[in-house]
Amino acid sequence: MNEPIRIENLTKDFNGFRALDNLNLVVKRKSFMGFLGPNGAGKTTAIKILTNLLAATSGSAELNGINITREPKAALANVGAVVETPEFYPYLTPTETLAYMGELSGMSHVDIKRRTKEVLDTVKMNEWADKRIGKFSKGMKQRIAIAQAILHEPPIIILDEPTSGLDPRGMFEVREILVDLKKQDYTVFMSSHLLNEVQEICDDVALINQGKLLKHGPVDELIATTNSRRLEVRVKQKVTAELLGTISRLDGVSETAPAGESIFVMSLSGGDDAQASLLRSLMNLDLSVISFKESGVALENLYMSLIKESR
Amino acid sequence: MTEMISQNGMRMGTTPPSDINQVGVVVKYEVLKYLRSKRLMGLIIIEALVLLLLTILPPLLGNDYATNADAFINGYTSYVTILIVIGATLFAGDAIVSEFQGRTGYLLFPKPVKRSALLAGKFIASAGAMFLVLITYYLVALLLGLAITGGFSTLGVESLLLAMLYSLAALAVGYLISSVMKGATGALILTFALFLFILTILTGVLTLGGVEPWFLVNYAGGVVGYITQVPYPSSGTGDPGVGPGFSMATFIPDVGISIAVMLAYLVVSLVLAYFFFKRREMSA
């Protein structure tokens, strides 16, 4: 059976710079895959090739088993995409824009009318349905972009940093939309560098750097493979260099650093047992621990270690 | 919406319409663009001003109108090429490049539509807008001729047909420029300057050198005005008025050759525009 998205040995060169280097990746049906990597890792390049915005130097990308380079029209028939932050025709309203995109995708006028109301409701833009897009904010445009991507209910949705450039409220709202999409029958492939976003929403994750795939698989499994966690500790005492030196000599502890007058962070190798043991050790040092918690997201630790290794 | 399931059990979205249907969709929204962006309205206002000036100035300056319908329409056809140049700039100059520079390509290109359908739709919409302007212009001029001279100029209709062909060639050149330029402003300026200055200067220099510039599209476009002259003028040698012993060649484009040249510009420019548009990437 054809996977919704299959990338094989995909390579893209830009004037001697290799943005993608033999990338191989498969996105399973009905999965929500996060595509992670630092800036310049090749995420957007891969997504642009998948959406026919760039041509691959070599290798292939298939959507529902159809080669995007050879048959772009057929391949893109079942795809909804938001790439970078698209601009809209300023002289059209959201309703007209969705009608244009819907007509190009082959939707009937009845379906366009019905779905326009539904998707504008989903992205909370019904109030603006008949206002020209010209003066919309970036956040409003991003919501319209998501609306046009899901308008024709495509089985595959490709999103390139959908919350990029949005304010915290906008990011929250877009994340809510994504969570809602997850409940439906979609295969979603989403690039992001917001690790908490990916950990919160995605089932699977693929990490790339310098155009190469570093690791991919279910988020939980990948997190389980990482044997390191970042901890933040708040104590009653003042954090001194001497204290940090003592703590860094404890089992599994590394990279201790102050994060405030009475707060410090550190890395710990090991799982839950090691973390519980560390807390006991800190108490044994006569520290008055006010809080002891994991700092950042588990995926961040994996991401950072993989990126560091790949350099 | 009817949900479709593929043979391998995958839910499928919609089936895109045929390329021809998609061309129609693109035409519809491009025309809407012309209407809402006021470009079409702007050109029609310029056209109205040209018609008004050509009609009211002769009596105001104490000149009589021509008594022959063909001679009357000739006074109007001389300015059509300027309208065509402005139209080609407004409708074609930024038609392609704006999708890249304005980032609307991020919305349009991931849709299941071929770039050939996008180009065809845009071109047909531009041609439609241009034809509307030209037909309105000639209709008014012919009706004025009918009212003032009492005759109808069939040469005026021939001029209209030639003007339509010249406008297609000029639009195609505009699309070619738009498909290779990086910025919309540069594309608009280059399209305008190419027809108004660069080709005109080239035509003048070649003529001075005694070479007939039959292969230049603006020279070929001259038939739009000449066709209404009776008899059709012919090339020859004239006195430039700079002193005895000097003579200068005057060239008049041949209608048949000019039609072929305009067709060649139309086809070659459109094919090249498609070639560059298809290969162009949204890399920025």
pLDDT digits (tens, 9 = 90+) for B194-243: 999 999 999 999 998 989 999 999 999 999 999 999 899 988 877 666 66
Q: Check if the interface score ipTM surpasses 0.85.
A: yes
Residue B3 clears pLDDT 60, i.e. is over it: no
Q: Which pTM was predicted? A: 0.87
The tens digit of pLDDT for each residue in B160-181 reads 999 999 999 999 999 999 999 9
Q: Domain locations in chain A?
A: 5-217, 226-310
Looking at residue A170, its pLDDT comes to 81
CA angle A34, A35, A40 (to 5 degrees): 150
Domain A5-217 class in CATH: alpha beta
Amino acid at A157: I
- Asked if the structure places residue B52 within a domain, the reply is yes
Q: Which of B8, B33, B110 has the CB atom closest to A81's CB atom?
A: B110
d(CA A267, CA A139): 37
Q: Of A156, A206, A154, which is closest to residue A4 (Cα–Cα)?
A: A156
**CB nearest A87 (choices: B8, B15, B102):** B102
- Reading the block at residue B24, the tokens are 């129609």
**For residue B6, is it within any domain?**
no
For residue B105, which residues of chain A lie inside 8 Å, CB to CB? Answer: 53
A277 in contact with chain B, both atoms CB, cutoff 8 A: no
Could you tell me which chain A residue has the CA closest to the CA of B117? Answer: A104
Q: Find, among A185, A186, A172, the residue nearest to A124 by Cα.
A: A172
Amino acid letter at B112? P
A105 vs B14, B36, B283: nearest CB: B14
Structure tokens at B131: 């034809």
User: Can you tell me the distance from the alpha carbon of B181 to that of B190, in angstroms, rounded to the nearest whole number?
Assistant: 9
Q: Which residues of chain B neighbour A153 with C-beta distances below 8 Å?
A: 1, 3, 13
Flag if B13 and A153 touch (Cβ within 8 Å). yes
Q: Domain A226-310 carries which CATH code?
A: 3.30.70.980
Mean pLDDT of A104-123: 94
Number of structural domains, chain B? Answer: 1
What stretch of H or E contains B164? helix B154-180
Contact B101, B282 (CB under 8 A): no
**Alpha-carbon torsion, ordered A269, A272, A273, A278, to 10 deg:** 60
Question: Nearest 5°: CA angle at A103, between A98 and A108?
Answer: 105
Angle subtended at Cα B117 by Cα B269 and Cα B5, rounded to the nearest 5 degrees: 155
The domain of B240 spans 16-279
Is B73 within the bounds of a domain? yes
Q: In what order do the strands lie in the sheet with A58-63?
A: A17-27, A5-14, A58-63, A66-67
Four-residue CA torsion sign, B166, B167, B170, B175: negative
Judging contacts by C-beta atoms under 8 Å, the chain A residues touching residue B3 are: 153
The pLDDT > 70 percentage for chain A reads 97
Nearest Cβ partner of B1 from A74, A80, A115?
Answer: A115
- Quick check: A53 contacting B, CB < 8 Å? yes
pLDDT of residue B105: 95
Tens digit of each residue's pLDDT (9 = 90 or more) over A2-20: 789 999 999 999 988 999 9
Q: Domain for residue B199, yes or no?
A: yes
